[in-house]
Chain A
């Protein structure tokens, strides 16, 4: 199955700043997904990133707040902009293409704390 490297693993940021999270996959994948997991909650999909096209955002998430890049089939970034304490969460990327119908592989996540 695909191996995902997600960076940074954690960060503490000042409110009003931005954080860019990187997701690198060891194989080419068609779709990449970005999730948010707020403290004590389950995962919520932010957007789907398809190489060569604009990301598709879920209800409640907008491009100005969560811009996404997908320059090639192995890499994507998620930026969380204009940070506020409510953005403190774990952000995870996920990819398809693991084969065998196993579903998706997830990165280890980025734990963001906004102070």
Chain B
């Protein structure tokens, strides 16, 4: 799986959009970009994933650059409960024999 690079930490004001960047310059054509988050003392939680088109669900939006070498996770209206470590992972989708490799992630702090 391609490696990813994320900032170590970020702050965001409550109610504002949180934009979390991820670089994955060595991503392969069949690798998806996945985002998970881990709230303190809980297991990682799936947020969103995408291949090349921008994606949106009830939790977040995922913007992938045209060359697919980077992406941004957007939490449109961050709340205090969004404070967590956010992991960007690239891997082949539906490859059930393959685990997810977690990097250090970005520690997002949503401030009141």
Contact = CB atoms under 8 A, between A and B. Distances in A.
A31 B105 CA distance: 25
Contacts of B96: 30-31, 96-97
- For this complex, into which size category does the number of interface residues on chain B fall? 20 to 34
B100 A103 contact: yes
Contact of B99 (A42, A48, A109): A48
A101 B36 CA distance: 14
A105 B41 contact: no
A31 B46 contact: no
Contacts, number: 56
Interface in A64-115: 90, 92, 94, 96-98, 101-109, 111
B69 to A, nearest CB: 21
Interface in B36-50: 36, 41-46, 49
B87 A107 contact: no
A83 to B, nearest CB: 21
Does more than half of chain B's interface fall in helix, strand or loop, or is it mixed?
Answer: loop
A114 B109 CA distance: 30
A109 B41 contact: yes
Nearest to A1: B46
Contacts of B44: 43, 92, 106
Interface in A27-43: 30-31, 33, 35, 41-43
Interface of A: 1, 4, 6, 30-31, 33, 35, 41-45, 48, 90, 92, 94, 96-98, 101-109, 111
Given A42-B104, A103-B36, 19 more contacts: A4-B43, A30-B96, A31-B97, A42-B102, A44-B102, A45-B99, A45-B101, A94-B43, A94-B100, A101-B49, A101-B93, A102-B49, A103-B46, A103-B49, A103-B93, A104-B46, A104-B100, A109-B41, A109-B42
